[in-house]
Amino acid sequence: MFKFEVDVLLEDDAWDAALGGDAEAFGARVLAAAAKSEGARGAVSVLFTTDAAMQALNRNWRGFDKPTNVLSFPVAEAAGGLLGDVALGLGVVTAEAAAQSKTVEAHTAHMLVHGFLHLLGYDHENETDAERMERRERAILAELGYADPYRVTGES
């Protein structure tokens, strides 16, 4: 039997409006689909937060004093089945969605899948790894009904 759990913490209520009224359900649905596609079992926590909180996390954990779209914190060894944490900042995600002519929902789904794949060990440090990760992102997002997030706007 498939066993996967998502714990969503909504630190910024504006995420609800941005994601159609229920950010918790949205996050759980996207991550459950990603986990099923990857055959992953365990638990993930998701933090839907502000840019200020993301800037603090980014500064404290990565040494970059600026807000970012998504951060992943994998657990070194899946203690008790915990795979790790994913955090998303609303302002950066919203601005990126607008700049890329995407809906906030589609871009948030992409960032959730991207962050989740990092928890499973995927990375994009070199071209081969990036292509592998992007291929999985495209497949999972397609299963959820979202367009290719890497397709340049205006392509046919």
Domain residue ranges in the chain: 4-143
CATH of the domain spanning 4-143, picked from 3.40.50.2000, 3.30.360.10, 3.90.78.10, 3.40.390.30: 3.40.390.30
Q: What is the pLDDT of residues 45-89, one digit of tens each?
A: 999 999 999 999 999 999 999 999 999 999 877 567 889 999 999
Assess contact for 113 and 85: CB atoms under 8 A: no
pLDDT bin (cut points 50, 70, 90) of residue 152 is low
What is the pLDDT averaged over residues 148-152? Answer: 85
Q: Give the pLDDT confidence score for residue 79 in this predicted structure.
A: 66
pLDDT bin (cut points 50, 70, 90) of residue 16 is very high
Q: What is the mean pLDDT of the chain?
A: 92
pTM of the shown model: 0.93
What is the pLDDT averaged over residues 17-30? Answer: 96
Q: Which two tokens stand for residue 68?
A: 């970012």
